[in-house]
Amino acid sequence: MAKKLFIKTYGCQMNVYDSARMAEALAPLGYDMVDEPAGADMVILNTCHIREKASEKVFSELGRLRDLRDERAPGAGPMLIGVAGCVAQAEGEEILRRAPQVDLVFGPQTYHRLPELVARAARGERALDTDFPAEDKFDALPARPRKSPATAFLTIQEGCDKFCTFCVVPYTRGAEFSRPVENVLDEARALAGGGAREITLLGQNVNAYHGRGAGGDAAAEEGLGGLIRRLACVEGVERIRYTTSHPRDVDEALIATHRDVAELMPFLHLPVQSGADRILAAMNRRHTADDYRRVVDRLRAARPDLALSSDFIVGYPGETEAEFEATLRLAEEIGYAQAYSFKYSPRPGTPAANSSEQVAEPVKAERLARLQDSLNRMQSAFNEASIGQEMPVLFERRGRRPGQFIGRSPFMQSVHVEGAGDLLGQTLPIRIAASHPNSLTGEPVAALAATVRSPGRAGLQA
């Protein structure tokens, strides 16, 4: 009988990708994915360690899972509990100590060993595997499944060598690693063959990508720009995106790719973190606010309709009011389509956590509210400017209302459309009719023409 697997994913898109691949690795053992932990034979929490709140959530969720497991009907068999991801990597031993209900703990670099870990856990052995193994995880994982959703993630790069002083990633995900070009192309072909139309290339520092070229030749390395050009030739791939990038690694070849490759969508998440040079230096970002402005100018010269997004940290140790205002100014100047902003959260083991100049919590909260207010206004204005425009929307899922479909604009806006047949997996021209803070409402252009011809028709029901 099929066993039920529930995976709860926290944090970034790389974890979303990893969770999908964990499910694929467990499928040969008879595990099918379910949507809730109740009744599951195995529950995996794929965790995030980036900010304090993210890791705290793991221990409270583990408490709820223990209760669920204890309530299991006698004879229902054991419920295995696993902790994966970056909290597992950073605090594996402590999890096993603090949470006796946990059966297996493994990091982002060892989930290809899941079948073996599960076998050990099933024998009653608590399994911990947080190595950085020499073998290539991607080589060891099963091939991608035959069917893919319309939009898919593809991890091409992992780890980070930048060591920003606030960030745990270089410790939890390890040193930078790029997958060879051929492996990436093979996976893209499999995804596109299974129905994926949009591929988002993932990496902690994705534009530091430098994969071995054709035939595994180390001398013929390919950067992200070159990889995207090759991907655009893969049959079925209509749209390409990449995230998350570092301003330092935006090179001329990548900018030219934004200019030349129509499949590369005009939306870029390019985190700046702060607009003050002294803070950027303290963060070890290795660029100034002006360097960032110049990179954005060059990108916009290559692709004038490029919409931008960023990450910001407020209240980094020692940040003054004037330095925070420099961040506000930079954000307004660049004009973001959307952005994420966070209060600085000291992370154990990172240099900034030891600073004696920690900013008081109420000051961080007040700065965050001001920055978010500004970013929200920008986002609403960007969405409002879409009204009346016609844009291609790729539909990726059904909405909650009957006949409703949700897709993405080229600029990553969520677009809701109702009553026009089955739109899943299709890219259609949509006229934007209304804007909301986090989404747009649109109508298919062809259906609009039909309504114009027959004004008596009620709505757009196809």
Of 345, 383, 386, 409, the one binding ligand 5AD by CB under 6 A: 345
CA distance 101 to 60: 13
The helix/strand/coil state of 118 is helix
Please choose, from the candidates 345, 44, 8, 14, the residue with its C-alpha nearest in 3D space to the C-alpha of residue 168: 345
324 part of the interface to ligand 5AD, by CB under 6 A: no
The helix/strand/coil state of 12 is coil
Number of residues located near ligand 5AD, criterion CB under 6 A: 12
What is the smallest separation between the CB atom of 442 and ligand SF4, expressed in angstroms?
34
What is the smallest separation between the CB atom of 160 and ligand SF4, expressed in angstroms?
3
90 part of the interface to ligand SF4, by CB under 6 A: no
CA distance 250 to 29: 42
Of 37, 82, 107, 170, the one binding ligand SF4 by CB under 6 A: 170
* Residue 246 binds which of ligand SF4, ligand 5AD, none (CB < 5-8 A, kind-dependent): ligand SF4
313 part of the interface to ligand 5AD, by CB under 6 A: yes
Name the residue type at position 426: Q
Of 150, 164, 265, 299, the one binding ligand SF4 by CB under 6 A: 164
| Region binding ligand 5AD by CB under 6 A among candidate stretches 53-61, 234-242, 341-349, 374-382 | 341-349
112 part of the interface to ligand SF4, by CB under 6 A: no
Specify the residue, 72 or 210, whose C-beta has the smaller distance to ligand SF4: 210
Count the neighbouring beta carbons within 10 Å of the beta carbon of residue 345.
Answer: 18
Number of residues located near ligand SF4, criterion CB under 6 A: 10
Of 271, 317, 410, 442, the one binding ligand 5AD by CB under 6 A: 271
Q: First CA to last CA across the chain, in angstroms?
A: 42
CB–CB of 177/159 below 8 Å?
yes
| Region binding ligand SF4 by CB under 6 A among candidate stretches 52-60, 163-171, 325-333, 434-442 | 163-171
Task: Render the burial of 331-344: b for 16+ CB within 10 Å, e for the rest.
Answer: beebebbbbebbbb
Specify the residue, 271 or 407, whose C-beta has the smaller distance to ligand SF4: 271
83 part of the interface to ligand SF4, by CB under 6 A: no
Query: Computed from CA positions of residues 128, 131, 134, 136, in that sequence, does the dihedral angle turn out positive or negative?
Result: positive
CA distance 151 to 414: 13
Name the residue type at position 222: E
The helix/strand/coil state of 228 is helix
* Residue 162 binds which of ligand SF4, ligand 5AD, none (CB < 5-8 A, kind-dependent): ligand SF4
* Residue 289 binds which of ligand SF4, ligand 5AD, none (CB < 5-8 A, kind-dependent): none
C-alpha R_g of the chain: 23
90 part of the interface to ligand 5AD, by CB under 6 A: no
204 part of the interface to ligand SF4, by CB under 6 A: yes
* Residue 382 binds which of ligand 5AD, ligand SF4, none (CB < 5-8 A, kind-dependent): none
CA distance 208 to 248: 9
314 part of the interface to ligand SF4, by CB under 6 A: no
Q: Which of residues 248-307 bind ligand SF4 (CB under 6 A)?
A: none
Tokens of 8: 């709860």
CA distance 107 to 84: 5
Nearest residue to ligand 5AD, scored by beta-carbon proximity: 311
Of 7, 62, 68, 160, the one binding ligand SF4 by CB under 6 A: 160
Contacts (Cβ under 8 Å, ≥6 apart) of 433: 387, 441, 442, 443
417 part of the interface to ligand 5AD, by CB under 6 A: no
| Region binding ligand SF4 by CB under 6 A among candidate stretches 164-172, 315-323, 396-404, 422-430 | 164-172
Query: How remote is the C-alpha of 144 from its chain's centroid?
Result: 19
CA distance 219 to 196: 32
Classify residue 376 by burial, with Cβ atoms within 10 Å: 0-12, 13-18, 19+. Answer: middle
What is the smallest separation between the CB atom of 79 and ligand 5AD, expressed in angstroms?
32
Tokens of 153: 């993630």
Of 84, 102, 105, 169, the one binding ligand SF4 by CB under 6 A: 169
276 part of the interface to ligand 5AD, by CB under 6 A: no
51 part of the interface to ligand 5AD, by CB under 6 A: yes
H-helix or E-strand spanning residue 427: strand 427-435
Specify the residue, 243 or 379, whose C-beta has the smaller distance to ligand SF4: 243
DSSP letters, 147-198, are ---SEEEEE-EE--S---TT--HHHHT-S-EE--HHHHHHHHHHHHHTT--E
- Name the residues that contact ligand 5AD, by CB under 6 A: 50-51, 166-167, 271, 273, 311, 313, 342, 344-345, 347
- Name the residues that contact ligand SF4, by CB under 6 A: 160, 162-164, 167, 169-170, 204-205, 246
